[in-house]
Amino acid sequence: MVNKVEICGVNTSRLPVLTNAEMRELLKRMHGGDRSAREQLIQGNLRLVLSVIQRFNNRGENVDDLFQVGCIGLMKAIDNFDLSQNVRFSTYAVPMIIGEIRRYLRDNNPIRVSRSLRDVAYKALQVRDALVHRYAREPSVRQIADELNLPREDVVFALDAIQEPISLFEPIYHDGGDPIYVMDQISDERSEDASWLEGISIREAMSRLNEREQAILTKRFFQGRTQMEVAEEIGISQAQVSRLEKAALKHLKRHISE
């Protein structure tokens, strides 16, 4: 996507960039009824849309589709921006563009969520925004549930249902070197260094046991045989297997701790 010159027929290398002063002037003209000013605002902020959709470039979505959806978010931001607020347009527009793209991804998610769940989730998000505006702080799930007159569990379930799946290869941190991905933050007991080193230590210790001790421990703990089965295979009594097994384990522990 970074190297792509044309997206939806737009030559990205020739997109204009507006200064903050130019933005405010065009917004004033647009609010005064100048439709050409609105077109200039859209054209002058397409680079902003491009910068936003790069965050979603590892989801396998069509870039042209994301760009078009992002442009819808941009137009909503342009139409609803309040000039009286002391905030840069980009600060207001970026969350609008991201929100539009996320809605698109949710609606096109192969993991289908029922309409009733989505309705509850979107109502919860609206209530959340209203409570933030009312109290100037993030509300708890309990407060949102009380406003909706719903059980807390229903609200949690609905909000979880509309969360987007995250790729294991989603970068979560980048300091100029190699990025850190989601998968780097997920533990896997099967590949932990401690387990790997422990396996090496056991193999090393096993090699220092005599052949009979190795055979008994291998059959008992690696092949899942009972003492009776081991006794029949080796041709000794179960009592002897039990005694030899205890001695082998004692030797194994000593070799591992050395």
DSSP H helical ranges for the chain: 20-31, 35-43, 46-53, 63-80, 89-107, 115-135, 141-148, 152-161, 193-206, 211-217, 227-234, 238-257
Candidates 1.10.3720.10, 1.10.10.10, 1.20.1250.20, 1.10.510.10; correct CATH number of 190-257? 1.10.10.10
Longest dimension (CA), the chain: 100
> Could you read off the pLDDT of 208-226 as tens digits, one per residue?
888 888 888 888 888 888 8
Domain parsing of the chain, residue ranges? 1-109, 110-163, 190-257
What residues have CB less than 8 Å from 33, skipping those under 6 apart? none
* Other residues' Cβ atoms within 10 Å of the Cβ of residue 144: 22
Does residue 73 contact residue 98 with C-beta atoms inside 8 Å?
Answer: yes
1-109 carries CATH number 3.20.20.60: no
At residue 118, what are phi and psi to the nearest 5 degrees?
Answer: -65, -40
The predicted model gives 178-184 an average pLDDT of 60
> Could you read off the pLDDT of 184-206 as tens digits, one per residue?
555 555 544 455 556 667 777 78
d(CA 133, CA 206): 66
> Could you read off the pLDDT of 132-147 as tens digits, one per residue?
888 878 888 899 999 9
Top-level class of domain 110-163:
mainly alpha
